[in-house]
């Protein structure tokens, strides 16, 4: 049974993986036996994250590129595949948040959200899938959000981007399942991450979240690892186009 979830002999690229959820998922996939390819734009942070993982015994390489740059992504992925070897698993994790009431939301911030949260999934997903299709196998996991299904005041554009991630995941599965790829999404609820630092530090919001979430607490990033290992492994060989909510029950409860 453990072999069903083993990632031994497989290589995983995780975008935006120098901190937060991306780093936790990289660490978790390494613990399951995977070889890790860390990605980010800040090379210093990327190198520090890689060294930390290597100190724990992980096999790690670094691949710095801007996930919003279509040509740059294509060149980086093609070069890595040619020089190093196949990317068997892709986790599209790069993302950002901007909180402002919708009537005053800056247009430039909206465009940046679109590029970071949606376009990056398309750019990296397409670049990696081209190689996976040729091999007839591959796993793509997009990081969606509880906002894929729900909305809150002040983050309407973010909600729109994460809804799009959910639907793009369905589209990937529809187009690429016939080529042997499984394309799914993980939708985290409210997790204690750098992206949510302002909310974690807000006693009023934390109190509201504890009442609103059946589990009664913030999630810890390590609690996303099991879902990612499942969707990266042979255990999910017939799971496609699915969004797996890891949210303490928040989407199940009024």
Angstrom CA distances, 63 to 11, 38, 42, 72, stand at: 13, 6, 11, 11
How far from each other are the two terminal CA atoms of the chain, in whole angstroms?
Answer: 37
8 Å CB contact between 180 and 221: no
| Best CA proximity match to 72, nearest among 94, 89, 98, 97 | 94
The closest of 195, 210, 237 to 93, measured between CA atoms, is 195
Contact 67, 39 (CB under 8 A): yes
Q: Are strands 89-92 and 243-246 parallel, antiparallel or unpaired?
A: unpaired
Cα(189)–Cα(234) distance, integer angstroms: 25
List 185's β-bridge partners, or say none: 142, 243
Structure tokens, 27: 């660490």
| Residues that are catalytic | 158
CB-CB contact of 248 with 213 (8 Å)? yes
Helix (H) or strand (E) holding 17: none
Stretch (H or E) spanning 191 = none
Could you give the CA distance from residue 196 to residue 179 in angstroms, rounded to a whole number? Answer: 37
- Coil, helix or strand at residue 243: strand
């Amino acid at each position: 049974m453990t072999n069903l979830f083993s990632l031994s002999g497989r290589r995983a690229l995780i975008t935006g993986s120098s901190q937060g959820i991306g780093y936790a998922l990289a660490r978790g996939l390494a613990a399951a036996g995977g070889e890790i390819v860390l990605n980010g734009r800040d090379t210093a942070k990327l190198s520090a994250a890689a060294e930390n993982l290597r100190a724990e015994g992980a096999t790690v390489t670094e691949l710095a590129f801007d996930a919003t740059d279509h040509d740059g992504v294509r060149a980086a992925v093609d070069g890595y595949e040619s020089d190093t070897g196949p990317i068997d698993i892709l986790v599209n994790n790069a993302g950002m948040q901007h909180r402002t009431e919708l009537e005053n939301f800056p247009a430039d911030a909206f465009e940046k959200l679109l590029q970071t949260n949606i376009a990056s999934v398309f750019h990296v997903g397409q670049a990696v899938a081209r190689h996976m299709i040729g091999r007839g196998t591959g796993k793509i996991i997009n990081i969606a959000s509880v906002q894929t299904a729900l909305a809150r005041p002040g983050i309407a554009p973010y909600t729109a981007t994460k809804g799009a991630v959910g639907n793009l995941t369905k589209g990937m599965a529809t187009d690429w399942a016939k080529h042997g790829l499984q394309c799914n999404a993980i939708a985290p609820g409210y997790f204690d991450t750098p992206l949510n630092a302002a909310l974690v530090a807000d006693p009023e919001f934390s109190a509201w979240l504890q009442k609103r979430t059946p589990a009664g607490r913030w999630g810890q990033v390590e609690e996303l690892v099991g879902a990612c290992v499942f969707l990266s492994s042979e255990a999910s060989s017939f799971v496609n186009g699915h969004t797996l909510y890891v949210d303490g029950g928040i989407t199940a409860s009024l």
